Amino acid sequence: MQEKPSKGTKPAESDGTQMTKVRKVSIDAERAGQRIDNFLRGELPGVPKGRLYRLLRRGEVRVNGGRVKAEHKLQEGDEVRIPPARIRAEGAPPAENLAARILDTIIYEDKRLLVVNKPSGIAVHGGSGVSHGVIELMRHARPELKDLSLVHRIDRETSGCLVMAKRRSALRELHERFREGKVEKNYMALVVGDWQFGDQLIDAPLYVQHRKNGERHVIVNHKGKSAQTRVRLSRSYGAYSLLQCTPITGRTHQIRVHLEHAEHPIAGDERYGDDDANKKARKLGLKRLFLHAQSIAFVDDSHNDLHFTAPLADDLERFLSNGVMKARRPRQGIR
C-alpha cells in the first residue's frame, strides 16, 4: 500500500485525539479484497463506526474518485481518498523490556504467520484501560511487520496459542477458516471437583450481559447465542480434574461459563469460579486462572496441515506437580 504525502496531522488535543489531513492511499495486493469500512477502521483509529458510515454515505470517502458503499471491496490499484477526521493519538510506546520479553514467547514463524504462547495476564490488544497488549508489544519489537494483525483472540487471563498474520492476505484466509469452522482449538482446564461425566458435549446458549462498570458478564440463557464445547477427562486428582476442552463455537468466555454451568468451575476463575475453592487453590499455590490454549490447527493456503502446540507455563506445571498433590493423592484418569 502506497500513501501519497499529506500535510500531516494537527498536534494531539487534551482528550488524546488529533485531527488528520486529507490523504490518498493506493491499494496494493495485500490490501486487495478488504471491505472499505474495515479498511477505514484501520486507517482512522478511534473514529466511531457510525461516523465512518456517515463519511461513506456523504461521499467524503472516495474510491477512484467515486462514491462507494460500506460493503464495497477494494481492488489492487484502487486509490482511496480519506477525508479529515479526529483520530486517537498514539500513546506512549511500551517499555523496551516488555517488548523484548514478548519475543521470547514466539513458538512458530514463517513469512505469513507468527504464533506465540501468550502469557496469562496480558491482553491480546490494548483498550479498556490496557495501554499495550500482545499485538502492540510485538509491533513495537518488530517494527518491520507493518501489517501484523490478530487472527483471533483469547481472554487476558488465559495463556497459550495465539496466532497473528503478517500479511493481509493470510489474515483474510484465516478469518475465512474460522467462519467455516475449519479451525480446531484445544484448551486444558483444571476444574474444581471430580469430573464424572466422561466425554461430553456441553450445548448451552450464552447471553452477554453488560455490568455497570462496562465489563461483560456471560450467562447461560435461552436468549443467548448457540454455543457448544466438547469436554473430555485427561486426568483426575479427586479434588480437581484436568479437562481437555474443544470449543465448537467461539463465544465470549465460552469454556469458563460452560464449565461453571456444569458445576465444575475452573480453578482460579475470579469471575465465574467458586470463591471458597479459589481461596483454597491460592493457598496451594495457584495464583491465576487455570485455562491454557494448548493447541490450534488449520489448513494453510497451500493445503498443508498446520498444528501448533504451546506448553503449559511453569506456574501451572508446578501446581499440577505440587499443589494438587497436597489436595489429594492423584489417581489415573482417561488418557
Long-range Cβ contacts of 38-45 (<8 Å, 24+ apart): 39/74, 39/80, 40/82, 43/82, 44/20, 44/82, 44/85, 44/87, 45/87, 45/88
Torsion, Cα of 103, 307, 236, 202 (10° steps): 110
Q: How far apart are CA 38 and CA 63, in angstroms?
A: 14
Beta bridge partners of 233: 243
DSSP string, 32-45: TT-BHHHHHHHHST
- How many angstroms separate the Cα of 148 from the Cα of each of 85, 126, 168, 238? 24, 15, 8, 44
Q: How far apart are CA 206 and CA 229, in angstroms?
A: 12
Look up residue 322 and give its DSSP letter: I
Neighbours of 180 (CB within 10 A): 9
Q: Establish whether 37 is a catalytic residue.
A: no
| Strand, coil or helix: 96 | helix
Residues 6 or more apart whose CB falls under 8 angstroms from that of 73 comprise 33, 34, 35, 36
Beta bridge partners of 225: 206
Q: Which of 78, 155, 269, 274 is catalytic?
A: 155
| Strand, coil or helix: 265 | coil
Active site members: 155
